Each structure stands twice: as structure tokens, then as C-alpha cells.
Structure 1
Amino acid sequence: MQDTISGDSKLDELIYLSMLYDFYGELLPDNKKQVFEDYVLNDLSLSEIAEHMNISRQGVHDIVKRCTQELKDYEEKLSLLKKFAKIKDMLESIKNLCYKISETGETDKLQEIAALADDILKEL
């Protein structure tokens, strides 16, 4: 059971890191970007990356750790991922309201849609 939890946690962390990379990866230097991509996105081991990049395994580990912290720092300052998630949730709510309107004809839900759309526009 513990292995499953730590496996899920590791997967969640990799998904989070890949999303951070999508938003902020271009801000990393090319050499760091390649190492991070190989580790997080391409699922290569530290040893494989070290051999390919001709650096030590510890060097790869340090680069991945620094990149992870840099990406988290960018998110802490800019909150692009948080804003994206919030907008995605609001759009999902709009979609659900539209389905309800089409099923039930409750046009009073249009005010909720307009309010959510206003909130999205404020986020942008």
C-alpha cells in the first residue's frame, strides 16, 4: 500500500513539474532545459542523462533539483499555472451550465454563465 501511495505521489509530482515546465520552461537555460526534459518528460534515469550529457550523475541530480526550484519560484511569483487551473474550472462550470440549459430550458442559468465569463475576463 505504501508503494502505491508514494508511486501516486511521484506521478503527481511529475505531472505538476511537466505543467510548470510547459509554462516556464523557456525561461531555463538550454543545457538545464535539456536535462530537465530528459528526466521529467522523457523519463530517462539520472545515469542515462549523465552519460548522454557527459556529466556526473550528481551533476544531473543537482540540475534537476535547481530547475525544479526555479520553476516553482516562477510559479510562486507569477501564478500562471494557478490562474490557468482557475480558468479551466470556470470554463468547465460554463460547459455544465450550458448542458443544463439545453436539457431543462432554465434560462436563468445564463446569468451564472455571464458572471463566470466576467470572472474569466478579469483573470486575463
Structure 2
Amino acid sequence: MEKIFEQVLLYDFYGELLTPHQRNIYEDAVCNDMSLGEIAKEHGISRQGVHDLIKRCDKILQDYESKLHLVARFGTVREKIGEIEQLTRLNQTGQMETISGEEPKLQERMERIRSLSREILKEL
């Protein structure tokens, strides 16, 4: 399951850099969960050809990520935004929620939010 999630993320970020033929077959395999046989029949190529093309696309997408690191940056930014959301969360009474049993210290939270914001901007 994790491999499929990684493939979909890579495809979301770099899929447009594949040729239309590669994109169609890779999308059928990864996003549409079609079997090699179904894809081969639909596109008029052998199952082995489909398999080879999927492996080639995996490598191409991994190579893009190893050079550009867009997926990794996206993950980092997403984590920091999650932390900002936690720092600003209010309970039902409109008071700041405690984090890890600590009473909310507004000044410390604001400074952490500023720090996270600067880190996010550096990532972009």
C-alpha cells in the first residue's frame, strides 16, 4: 500500500513530464488499478511491454524526485502546517488547547508559529 501511495505522489508531481503514452499506461496501472493484462489489451501491447514501461516510469519518476525533491519538500511543509494548526487549535470554549499536558503559553506558541512560517517560506 505504501508503494502505491508513493507512486501516486510521484505521479502527481512529475506525471506531466512523462510522454502521453507513458502517462496513459502508468495512470492505468497505478491510479486506476488495472491489471497488466487489461492494460495490454486496451493499448495493444504485450503484458511484458506494460510491465517494462511501468518499471521504466517508476525509475524516471524516482530520478526526478532525487534531483528536484518536490515530494520531500511537500511532506516537510505539510508537517509544519499540521504543527501550526495544532498550535492554534481552540477547544469548545474558545480557549487554546493544551499540548502534551502543558498550559498554553501564547507568546511561545506565536514564536513557534513564526519560526515554522519562516521555515516553510525557505522550503518554497
Mark yes or no: TM-score above 0.5. Answer: yes
SS of the residue corresponding to residue 55 of structure 1 reads coil
Match of 2:105? 106
Q: CA RMSD in A?
A: 1.3
Match of 1:45? 35
- In 1, the alpha carbon distance for the partners of 2:72 and 2:123 equals 11
Whether 2:56 is the aligned partner of 1:66: answer: yes
Match of 2:117? 117
How many residues align? The count is 114
Report the Cα offset of residue 107 of structure 1.
1.1
Report the Cα offset of residue 105 of structure 1.
5.0
Q: Which runs of 5+ in 1 are unaligned?
A: 1-10
Q: Quick one: which amino acid aligns to residue 41 of structure 2?
A: E
2:68 to 78, 81, 105: 78
Taking structure 2 as the reference length, the TM-score comes to 0.88
- In 1, the alpha carbon distance for the partners of 2:77 and 2:5 equals 19
Larger radius of gyration: 2
Q: Which runs of 5+ in 2 are unaligned?
A: 98-102
Taking structure 1 as the reference length, the TM-score comes to 0.88
- In 2, the alpha carbon distance for the partners of 1:119 and 1:96 equals 17
Match of 1:56? 46
